[in-house]
Structure 1
Amino acid sequence: MMKNTGVLLLTLGAFVAGTAELVVGGVLRPIADDLGVSIALAGQLITAFSLAFALGTPIVVALTSRAGCKTMLIYSLAVFALGNLISFLSQDFGMILFSRAVVGLAVGVFTVVAFGAAAKLVAPAQVGKAVGTIALGVSVSMVIGIPLVSLAATLALLPALGGAAIPALAVLLLWMFSMALVIPAIQTYFIQQAPDRSNLVIGLNTSILHLGVAAGAGIGGLAAEAAASVQYHPWMASVAAVLSLIMAVVSVSRSQAAERVGKRNASLEPR
């Protein structure tokens, strides 16, 4: 029971972290209007978060590898609270940008340690389920947490959306679902491959992911500024998705080929 409670508490933390990570994307216009900056520049708040997550997390995880999971979870949550307090008290764009970097680092460390801690709280056969539960917290934040915060910030825009937004929202939901679906499988695979260094390996994996987020936010902001429109962004995202699918197919094919060669060589060895 205690182990299940621990996993559920980590999942709750993942929900809060996931909401804090992506909520800015839903309130860019109010932020831009309040600070007197363009939407493209406000979008760089996402880039700052993701860069801090991607570059800072593996360094912190490596330097604190001997610290206990509980200690790292407590410290990361404390830094998370500090970053959000700085954001609350900020009066200019530069300070908010800095606060997002602080929050990004805290969320990165918490997420990595949470995945590793969840794997240690359960039996080896239950690792995938535990990791999937943590990933569910992040996924639920995308589906519930972020829309609720965005709705509160942009309630006045709802009458203008009407029913035309429903098909787009349905496609977006499907997109997010498919993206979240692979998270437990990837994280579980890395934990199984390097159980003694799971935090470091997961940290590197999530860092690569957030480097992509940072690059996408930066490129998306520049594209919006140059074209004064976001109509090309879905096409850019679709091209990136197709390229990632091709790389995944090639990677899986090469892995399966290497496995077949290994089995064939093993069968030819003298007994």
Structure 2
Amino acid sequence: MTKDWPERLVLVGAGKMGGAMAAGWLAGGLPASSLTILEPNPSDAIARLAADTGAALNPPEPRGADVLALAIKPQALDAVAPQVVPLAGADTLVLSILAGKTIANLRERFPGVRSVVRAMPNTPAAIGRGVTAAYPSPEVTDEQRRWTERLLGAVGVFHWLDEEGAIDVVTAISGGGPAYVFALTEALAKAAEALGLAPDLAMSLARGTVEGAGELMRRERETPPSVLRRNVTSPGGTTAAALAVLHADDGLHPLMERAARAAHAQAGKMAG
């Protein structure tokens, strides 16, 4: 009989992303008795989550895992893997959200494991609005795929990828994308200040504009962003004048491509 959730889910690392996933899993129906959280420096929020739900936090003898979810910093893998490798057996699914760490690299750290899924979520997972894409090793079973879809879908939109290399592209686009949007908000506020508005008003206008545009795009999911853009743009008007600058040969599109390529290249450097 297929289980909706893994009976033994061990989360290694409960920082912002790991904590967001844990909260999303429990809110989505994961029994608290199934979740063990291993985090050497738990935040007050994680401590409260464990206390309020009954999920295990740093038990002295963690049990073996059906799913071992890795949500630590990539540079911590070498130190952490030897501590948790006893929890992963031949039937364990290792679910990793570590940027740059390949399936081959994870197999080296967990030599007894057959099934590995690499995934890349983003920070809006903290409010259930994340975007996650993942790639499974060939050994991942149908049940483990369903577990992955359930776990990662609990914190937002989920996509499977056809090749592992696409993970680095996802990292560069949706993984870092929220930071790019926040940077755009900062830039919009600075532009308002340069035109004479007070800083508080400038930031309020910028934040409200980005929030509202994002919500409009969510509600108009079937409408391409290009159409939404044209709906705001009157020929010869003020928005058209601004877009002429953004759409110049050295404008927003090539700038964003350069930014994404830089992130993609950095993800490649972190591999191994």
* TM-score w.r.t. length of structure 1: 0.28
Higher relative contact order (CA 8 A, sep 6+): 1
* TM-score w.r.t. length of structure 2: 0.28
Higher helix share: 1
Higher strand share: 2
